[in-house]
Amino acid sequence: MSIEEAFALAEAEAKLEQALADNKTRFDNAVLPNRYNEDWRFGRPNKFAMALAETLQRNANCHGGASVQHAGDSAVPVALAANDDLRQTEMLMPTIGSDALLGLHLKRFGNGYALYIEEDTKEPIRLTYKTSGLYTPSTFIMVAPGVKAHVIEQYCGTGACTMFATRNIQVAEGAELMVELNADVDAGSYMVITNIQNMGGKVKHLTELRGEWVREETIAEIYTPDADVQLYSANRLAGNQVLDQHTRQIHHAGGSSSNLLYKNVVDDNATAIFAGNIYVAPAAHHTDAYQSNRNMLLSDKATIHSLPGLEILADKVRCSHGSASAPMDDEQLFYLCARGIPKHEAQLLVADGFLADATDKFRGNIQTT
Amino acid sequence: MSLIIKDLYARVKDGAQILNGVSLEIPKGQVHAVMGPNGSGKSTLSKVLCGHPDYEVISGTAELDGQDLFSMSVDERSRAGLFLAFQYPVEVPGVSNANFMRAALQARLPKGEELDAVSFYKTMRSTMSKLGMDTKFTARAVNEGFSGGEKKRNDVLQMMMLEPTYAILDETDSGLDVDALRIVSDGVNAMRAPFRSFMIITHYKRLLDYIRPDVVHVLYKGKIVRTAGYELVEQIEQNGFDFLKTEE
């Protein structure tokens, strides 16, 4: 090792040490989520926060495995377990009321992927994370200028597992990214903090989430005119499941656009929470942004909390938001049954059709809304 | 073998009584037209027979080939051979026409038996072609964004695919242009058979000129008040329903 290399390594180690110390401070100074925090008001945070904190405080090992599948011809650089790089990118990550949890995550996380996508992907790149215990993986996706990419992330958990993921997504000018997150943690808990930074490209983002307790925080920051972000989510809840979704569409630049459509089918005693916000910075005139949360209730005991929001500091914008929660349409159900389809099957068809609105829009061609 | 309705009284759930003792028999192989002024209970009769949850039977019976219709669920009535072409076909977002038809046909097969995909699509496309429908409609969500006429054609497509033994057409002619009316009527006429019967609810003679009924009934204030042959259609066309008031 040359003297230069030795210095570089020592500098990197010092940075990492500082990062860990900063994260400890971040954790020490922040309050663990509780119901008195507005961002956690309906989300029943105790179960997840306490389990994660206790396990990590005991320095328990993270249990999980990750794999990547890339069938395309292009050579996509993939850095598995590039922990130091990932830690550096996560230092600046904003959260929606989860600073303490992110501090814990950064103190000790599992592994993850850093994808630098420099060529079009012919087939989707598939990232898979699996666990039956505690797992805190991280993902960093960066798409180079003008490149078209499709990434599918799958988070699979079995039993009463706990998975806490962070994701950093950066899209350069002229790039197009379709990214879908599919999480199924069975009887366990799942939390994901996603930070999308759009520097002039088009992003389509879909989440499909299932678990006993699930929280999604997605923050999309749009920095240039003509940049576009489309956020979709389609979920089916049953039993006592809780799905707590928080989003921010942040427009720093005028002439940019964003669209959000989050849909849930909620059965039994399940609870779905949506709290979204469109923020338009003072100089971001001619922003075009929309946000819609739609819920179908299949049970009298199902609960919906829907809190769409706008915070507009510019004058000339086109922004709107909407929310609707209603039972399944009896006329639609009757129409299907009147063709001989048994009631239970007809309910599944109508519910799938309701969610397909979001998934179909995601899978269509990337267009500016 | 017939559809036999006896002394049927029915009302809107927790609301007004609409049917006041309807009695009617439609033997297999026949086409019966049911006419009557607005609000006389024609659509209610069709919905009660199919089991719409907004209506409840107060008394009376309906038998489909000897089976008690009112003891069956909505889907069972359909699988037993009853079909309703709706006055206002419902939009079902996100459910494609093909998936909808596949589920309806699959439900008619014995447990464990799977619908053959190739012959299903072949049949669906050829039936659509007979009705002058673009085959792109197979992938479109059921009735979503369809014009009034397209919705009616779609209902007739479903009828032709499901091949019921008793079909009720509730104002299928409303919203259809002249060409579409002829195409749809041709489709219905092609289905006429000794093992199948139709109840056609309409306000207009023009549909019955295409689909010539064997028997014509007039429903008024929830009761069949007159039954005759095709000449009754011509009488109504010329003089309206004024004769009902003079008979009161």
A174/A68 Cα distance (integer angstroms): 26
Q: What is the dihedral of CA A344, A350, A355, A358, to 10 degrees?
A: 170
Interface test mutation site (partner A, options B49, B84, B95, B161, max chain A beta carbons within 10 A)? B95
A:B CB pairs within 8 Å:
83
Residue A122: alpha-carbon gap to chain centroid: 24
- Tokens 């990590």 map to which residue? A56
Which tokens hold the place of A134?
Answer: 């505690």
Torsion sign, CA atoms A353, B137, A336, B177: positive
Other beta carbons within 10 angstroms of residue A118's beta carbon come to 16
Residue A348: closest CA among A339, A336, A338 = A336
Chain B residues whose beta carbon lies within 8 Å of the beta carbon of residue A350: 92, 95
Residue type (1 letter), B185? S
Beta bridge partners of A217: A193, A246
Most confident of A82-86, A245-249, B86-90: A245-249
Least reliable range by pLDDT among A43-52, A327-336, B58-67, B225-234? A43-52
Dist. CA B248–CA B243, nearest whole Å = 9
Region of poorest pLDDT, from A11-15, A144-148, B128-132, B149-153: A11-15
Do the Cβ atoms of A334 and B100 come within 8 Å? Answer: no
Lowest mean pLDDT among A18-22, A91-95, A332-336, B142-146: A18-22
Who contacts B125 (Cβ-Cβ below 8 Å, separation ≥6)? B135, B138
Size of chain B, expressed as the number of residues it contains? 248
Bridge partners, residue A263, by sequence:
A234, A294
**Segment among A22-26, A53-57, A214-218, B152-156 with least mean pLDDT:** A53-57
Look at B158 and A339 and tell me if their CB atoms are within 8 Å. yes
- pLDDT value at A71 more than 60: no
What's the confidence (pLDDT) of residue A73? Answer: 47
pLDDT value of residue A82: 53
Pick from A46-50, A156-160, A269-273, B235-239: least confident: A46-50
Identify the band that residue B148 occupies on the pLDDT scale cut at 50, 70 and 90.
confident
Higher pLDDT, A104 or A182: A182
Of the pLDDT bands very low, low, confident and very high (cuts 50, 70, 90), residue A150 is very high
- Residue A368 pLDDT greater than 50, yes or no: no
CB neighbourhood size of A140 (10 A): 21
Q: Which of A334, A339, A348 to mutate to test the interface with B (most CBs of B within 10 A)?
A: A339
Q: How far is A84 from chain B (nearest CA, A)?
A: 45
Q: Is the pLDDT of residue A58 over 60?
A: no
**pLDDT-derived band of residue A109, with 50, 70 and 90 as boundaries?**
low
CA-based nearest distance A151→chain B, Å? 25
Sign of CA dihedral B60, B64, B69, B74: negative
Query: Rounded distance, CA A201 to CA A223, Å?
Result: 10
Distance, CA of B163 to CA of B196 (rounded, Å): 9
Phi, psi of B125, deg, nearest 5: -65, -40
Task: With a cut of 90, say whether residue A102 has pLDDT above it.
Answer: no
Span of A22-26, B48-52, B137-141 with lowest mean pLDDT: A22-26
A270-293 average pLDDT score: 96
DSSP secondary structure letter of residue A155: E
Judge: B100–A336 Cβ closer than 8 Å, yes or no.
yes
Query: What are the phi and psi torsion angles at B159 (to 5°)?
Result: -60, -45
Q: How far is A204 from chain B (nearest CA, A)?
A: 20
Q: Which amino acid is at A72?
A: G
Question: Which chain A residues are closer than 8 Å to B93 by Cβ?
Answer: 353-354, 356-357
pLDDT at position B67 is 95
C-alpha to C-alpha distance for A138 and B149, rounded to whole angstroms: 54
Q: Is residue B206 within 8 Å of B181, Cβ to Cβ?
A: yes
Q: Which residue of A has its CA nearest to B78?
A: A340
Query: pLDDT category, B14, cuts 50, 70, 90?
Result: confident
Residue A289 Cα distances to A251, A311, B54, angstroms: 9, 11, 40
DSSP annotation of B136? G
Specify the DSSP class assigned to residue A238.
-
Nearest CA in chain A to B95: A353
Q: Span A133-159, mean pLDDT?
A: 91
Q: Which of A2, A351, A359 lies closest to A181 in space, CA to CA?
A: A359
> So what's the pLDDT on residue A292?
98
pLDDT at A90: 66
Q: Is the pLDDT of residue B232 over 50?
A: yes
pLDDT of residue A367: 36
Instruction: With residue B16 as reference, give the H or E element that holds it.
Output: none
What is the predicted pLDDT for the residue at B179? 86
Mean pLDDT on A167-171:
94
Among B12, B113, B112, B3, residue whose Cα is nearest residue B64? B3
A340·B79 Cβ contact <8 A: yes
Q: What is the mean pLDDT of chain B?
A: 93
Name the DSSP letter for residue B212: -
The domains found in chain B, sorted by start residue, are 2-247 (3.40.50.300)
pLDDT tens, position by position, A189-234: 999 999 999 999 999 999 999 999 999 999 999 999 989 999 999 9
pLDDT digits (tens, 9 = 90+) for A1-19: 788 878 877 776 777 677 6
pLDDT of A323 higher than 60: yes
Element (H, E) at A74: none
What pLDDT digit, counting tens, does each position of B94-135 carry? Answer: 999 999 999 999 999 999 999 999 999 999 999 999 998 999
**pLDDT(A79) > 80:** no
Q: Verify whether the Cβ–Cβ distance A354 to B100 is below 8 Å.
A: no
| pLDDT tens digit sequence for B168-182 | 999 988 888 888 888
Q: Which of B53, B94, B108 sits opposite A340 (nearest CB)?
A: B108
Cβ <8 Å between B95 and A342: no
Q: Is B12 exposed, middle or buried (0-12, 13-18, 19+ CB in 10 A)?
A: middle
Residue B2, SS3 per DSSP:
strand
In terms of pLDDT, which residue wins out, A350 or B238?
A350
